[in-house]
Amino acid sequence: MTDTIDNDNTGEMITGNDYRRMVIGAYGEFLAEFENINALKESSTFFYSGNPGSDVLRTMGAALIPLQEAVNESIGGLARRVADASVLGARGNAGVLVSQIMRGLAKGLIGKYTATSREFGKAFQYGILYAQKAVPDEKNRPIIVASKVVARGAHDAVKSGKNISDILMAAIKASRENKSDRLDCGEQILQVFLEGCLRGLTGDLNLPPIDVSKKMYEARGIVSPLKDKARPYCVSFLVANPKLSVPLIEKELQEIGNFVVVERRFKTIFIHVHSEHPGTILERAVAWGHVGEIHINIMAEPHAMAMVQQACIMPQALLTVASDEEWAHKLQEAGAMVIIDGSDPSGPSVEEIVNAAHSDIANKYILLTDTEHLRLVMHQVKRIMGDRVSVVVANNHDEQIYAVRAFFPELSVEENVAQMREAIRRIAQDKLNKKY
């Protein structure tokens, strides 16, 4: 951290490198604590599906990757890159909440090369607010209750003109004092995040700087962050008088991006690709011919993909998640049109679902979960894609298959959503009646 004269009482400034260390510190702390967080699930005051500690670790892993190659030294630019990656790389409900904290921090730091203690404190409060907005219908969720207490603690420290490490310590103190008699996963996740940020800021890291070596993770049975790399930028453009064939361009793009579409259109080639580095894509493209009509959308932004226009095969489609190949076949027979692989214990990431719903199969999608574990993940997809998607939540295989059977392509999206939710309600009620 550097000291300069400004309007804050402390005169302290936080830089992009300080923020980098905070993110690394948070990841390192989750790497040390994720198993303990998973173990808390059964005794928590709130019901948690999946493994919250593992979900948050992988979400923070996705946030970690941009720090490897980021050339932007500004705190605002770095925070934006980290937030975009975490929003798309988020897994499970817990991962979505942490990604929203990262997104709020980025919103508070946008446009700043460095930030004062006061500015960072306000950005931190933005982060807490964004997490709260992710679950507006669950005000009593422990992590939300804890986040409000933490926000007040941080606010008091900011108001008193304290430095950044003191602001984080005040937030941690508020978090510890707020803990319920039965330690809750959500409360612990928030505290681990804060403690990791403080460790990173002070240089007391729990891991070597951005160590993504395979051996380190394989030894503990953990997924390497490299496998959770998010590609937040949707890049499309035309290449006139191309010097390479479509297959060669496709092959080159697949090495540096995903969701690659390369189409010949008379004397031009249309290219559409998702990437973490739009500049790298365009730098390659200038060697293929004259580049024009460039469009870059940040997929992590709310409603960003709603602006992307493309020709679609059908007006609407049902997209759902299958836990294995056998179940995928049953869902397809029942009427599901797009099946996402849900065999990963943490479920599909936000990006995987966005990519599936971003295909040219349908103009609009109904997203059907196969578990409560994916509810916030699906809603994060909706924030990104806007009115192009609607969400229906099922809690088990029985509810999922009944909801799929209630879908009819000839009906409107609104009618299908109503019918599917009613099918879920009926099967849940039948089970309850049989139980009693």
- CATH code at position 168: 1.25.40.340
Over the chain, what is the mean pLDDT? 86
Q: Which pLDDT tens digit goes with each residue over 243-283?
A: 888 999 999 999 888 889 899 988 899 999 999 889 899 99
Q: Tell me the pLDDT tens digit for each residue of 347-396.
A: 999 999 998 888 778 889 999 998 989 999 999 999 998 888 999 999 99
Radius of gyration for the alpha carbons in the chain, expressed in angstroms and rounded: 23
pTM: 0.88
Same domain, 272 and 331: no
Percent of the chain topping pLDDT 90: 49
pLDDT above 50 (res 5): no
Are residues 181 and 99 located together in one domain of the fold? yes
Total domains, the chain: 3
Q: Which of 156, 190, 220 is the last residue of a domain?
A: 220
Q: What is the CATH number of the domain that holds 336?
A: 3.40.50.510
Region 67-71 average pLDDT: 75
b (16+ CB within 10 A) / e for 336-373: bbbbbebeeebbbbbbbbbbbbbbebbbbbbbbbbbbb
Residues 287 and 253 in one domain: yes
**Digit-coded pLDDT (tens) for 295-336:** 998 888 876 665 555 666 788 999 999 989 999 999 999 999
pLDDT tens string 76-87: 999 999 999 999
At residue 347, the pLDDT reads 92
Rounded CA separation 420/164 (Å): 49
Residues 327 and 240 in one domain: no
Contact 26, 99 (CB under 8 A): no
92-115 burial, b at 16+ Cβ within 10 Å, e below that, comes to: bbbbbbbbbbbbbbbbbbbebebb
* 99-103, 110-114, 432-436: segment of lowest average pLDDT: 432-436
pLDDT band at 436 (very low <50, low <70, confident <90, very high): low
Last residue of a domain, one of 220, 246, 274: 220
Alpha helix positions (H), 41-141:
52-64, 66-69, 75-89, 92-109, 117-134
Between 57-71, 126-140, 156-170, 339-353, the lowest mean confidence (pLDDT) is in 126-140
| Short-list 14, 13, 28, CA closest to 199 | 28
Confidence at residue 155, expressed as pLDDT on a 0 to 100 scale: 81
Q: Note whether 29 and 7 are same-domain residues.
A: yes
Identify the DSSP state of 310.
Answer: -
3-state SS assignment for residue 59: helix
Assigned domain for 226 exists: no
- Residue 207: give the domain boundaries: 2-220
Q: Which residue has the higher pLDDT, 250 or 434?
A: 250
